[in-house]
């Protein structure tokens, strides 16, 4: 009887171990999210800094987007919660998208309109270092999600396709 229990345990353990390996192997090789068919998530500008230090430093020093959340904080007392959420689309990274900004408490690393606003979610790029997973050539159309004529007039800013970043 003891021998049968031992054999049953080994069978269960082997099935469990094979299942675990089948799940973990793609993750360890860097393609789990991609092979699972889900979109990449946003990782935040700080993750870009590791390999793109000069660009990151220039962005944080010169780009107004790097301080974009300050604008929300400055006017938040005069706005309703819903109005503040309306600001998140342009003043944070990935708001309303899978893996994007949710709130300053839940996703503080996505508080600013960082690198991924223009370059897209960085999860696959950071994991693999493959440039095919990041948008490298911006166009004016990329800017138009936030920089529409109405906002340009109201807030007196113009899209600078490469201004102050890199």
Q: What is the pLDDT along the chain (166 residues), one digit of tens a residue?
A: 555 444 554 554 444 443 444 444 444 445 545 555 789 999 999 999 999 999 999 999 988 889 999 989 999 999 999 999 999 999 999 999 999 999 999 999 999 999 999 999 999 999 999 999 999 888 878 888 888 877 767 666 555 555 545 5
As a whole number of Å, the CA-based R_g of the chain is: 22
Distances (CA, A) of 104 to 47, 73, 84, 109: 18, 11, 12, 8
166 vs 84: CA distance, rounded Å: 30
- First-last CA distance in the chain: 71
CATH architecture of 43-155: Orthogonal Bundle (1.10)
The pLDDT value given to residue 163:
52
Taking alpha carbons only, the member of 88, 53, 83 closest to residue 68 is 88
Q: How many CB atoms lie within 10 A of CB 61?
A: 9
Instruction: Please list, in sequence order, all residues whose beta carbon lies within 8 angstroms of the beta carbon of residue 116, skipping any fewer than 6 positions away.
Output: 42, 43, 44, 45, 93, 94, 122
The pLDDT value given to residue 91:
94
Q: How far is CA 47 from the centre of its chain?
A: 9
Distances (CA, A) of 20 to 2, 6, 53, 140, 143: 27, 21, 37, 46, 43
């Amino acid at each position: 009887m003891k021998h049968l229990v031992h054999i049953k345990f080994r069978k269960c353990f082997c099935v469990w171990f094979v299942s675990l390996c089948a799940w973990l192997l793609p993750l360890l090789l860097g393609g789990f999210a991609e092979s699972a068919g889900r979109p990449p998530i946003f990782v935040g500008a700080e993750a870009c800094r590791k390999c793109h230090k000069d660009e990151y430093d220039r962005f944080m020093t010169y780009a107004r987007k790097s301080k974009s959340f300050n604008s929300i904080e400055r006017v938040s007392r005069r706005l309703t919660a819903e109005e503040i959420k309306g600001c998140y689309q342009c003043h944070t990274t990935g708001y309303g998208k899978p893996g994007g900004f949710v709130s300053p408490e839940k996703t503080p690393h996505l508080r600013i309109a960082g690198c991924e606003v223009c370059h897209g979610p960085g999860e696959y790029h950071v994991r693999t270092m493959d440039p095919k997973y990041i948008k490298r050539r911006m166009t004016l159309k990329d800017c138009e999600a936030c920089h529409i004529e109405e906002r340009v007039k109201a807030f007196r800013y113009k899209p600078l396709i490469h201004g102050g970043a890199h």
